[in-house]
Amino acid sequence: MPRGAAIGGCWRQAFVVFTEFGKFLMLENGLVVITGGAGHLGLACAQRFRERRLLITDANATRLGEAATTLAHDGVDVTSLVADITVPEGACEIARTAARLGQWSVLIHTAGVAPPTAPETIVAVNLFGTINILEAFQASLVPGATGVCLASLAAYRSLASEFDEATTNPRGDPHDFVAHMAKRFPAVSSGRLAYSVSKRGTIQQVRKRASLWAQRGARLVSVSPGIIADTAMGRQRASQVQQADDLPRDVRLGVSSEIAAAVWLATSADAVLINGIDILVDGGYLAAVDTAYSASQRSDWHNLRV
């Protein structure tokens, strides 16, 4: 089924809430939708938004069930849905389920995968999955709604920007995309390149769509975590940079709850002017790379040689 046809079925009439001054408030009782809800960042966001009604989704049924049980045991009003966002219909099912539960106010897209996952899967989930989710929810935008997509510090590696046109307007399928990257940079790890480029793609998709969201009175931003020490990928990366003595001085590694706090801030009514940008939450890592590293170290980092 064509993507446009699948997304067309996602539309639902919405109830609009305004303040007396004409500003938009976060819909006080609106549903919070969290993709990747069984992962560390998804669960951290669920805990942060625990006073709200939640819809958490994930492709892993077992982990999702465990996450939903834990949240429900803690008194959270949570609904879970197993869904595959790599296909438009899977993303559309999430949007339809959200509509049945009531108007959503916050969409938190944390679903993502990283190496050693196959590069084709990384691109399918991180890039095409993001496109599917944003298109599925686009028709149900209302004033005051906010979307936050999780990107990554890896998106700031200069090599990733070489594919900005491809990630903004991707053609073909994930296999075609990976083949295109490998043809251009055959010496670079295909998995690490796929992750960096696909997360850059998340930022590009947010930029591309933010104006449309604004026309509907909604906001769309991305948040890029640095190295998160309480995730499997973060622990692995932290170990690598520490063993190589490659961790910039005075840079602090983060934890999932701190990323969730940044997401909370981005969705708050106080952030009403924040739209279409990426919020880098990396403890100063990128600043240190670009100012404290030697030229050769900086080049190695940006070109995925370390």
Q: Which region, left, alpha or beta, applies to residue 21 given φ > 0 means left and ψ of -120 to 50 means alpha?
A: alpha
Q: Which residues face 146 on adjacent strands?
A: 106, 219
Between CA 119 and CA 111 the distance in angstroms is 16
Strand pairing category for 219-225 and 146-150: parallel
C-alpha neighbours within 13 Å on the C-beta side of residue 293 = 21
Tell me the domains of the chain and their CATH numbers: 3-10+26-302 (3.40.50.720)
CA dihedral 140, 99, 261, 125 (to 10 degrees): -80
In this predicted structure, what is the pLDDT of residue 252?
78
What is the phi/psi pair of residue 274, to 5°? -90, 115
Contact in structure between 188 and 304 (CB atoms under 8 Å): yes
- List the chain pLDDT tens, one digit each, 306 residues: 555 555 555 543 333 333 333 334 446 679 999 999 999 999 999 999 999 999 999 999 999 999 999 999 999 999 999 999 999 999 999 999 999 999 999 999 999 999 999 999 999 999 999 999 999 999 999 999 999 999 999 999 999 999 999 999 999 999 999 999 999 999 999 999 999 999 999 999 999 999 999 999 999 999 999 999 887 766 666 666 655 556 566 677 899 999 999 999 999 999 999 999 999 999 999 999 999 899 999 999 999 998
Q: Which two tokens stand for residue 197?
A: 């480029």
Contact in structure between 128 and 194 (CB atoms under 8 Å): no
Q: Which two tokens stand for residue 122?
A: 């990384």
Between CA 107 and CA 150 the distance in angstroms is 11
Is this model's pTM higher than 0.85 or not?
A: yes
In this predicted structure, what is the pLDDT of residue 238?
64
In this predicted structure, what is the pLDDT of residue 12?
39
Please list, residue by residue across 3-26, b when 16 or more beta carbons sit within 10 angstroms of its beta carbon and e when fewer do.
Answer: beebbeebebebeebeeeeeebeb
What is the 3 state secondary structure string of 119-174?
HHHHHHHHHHHHHHHHHHHHCCCCCCCEEEEECCHHHHCHHHHHHHHHHHCCCCCH
Sign of CA dihedral 86, 27, 42, 97: negative
Between CA 266 and CA 279 the distance in angstroms is 9
Q: Which two tokens stand for residue 12?
A: 């639902």
In this predicted structure, what is the pLDDT of residue 195?
98
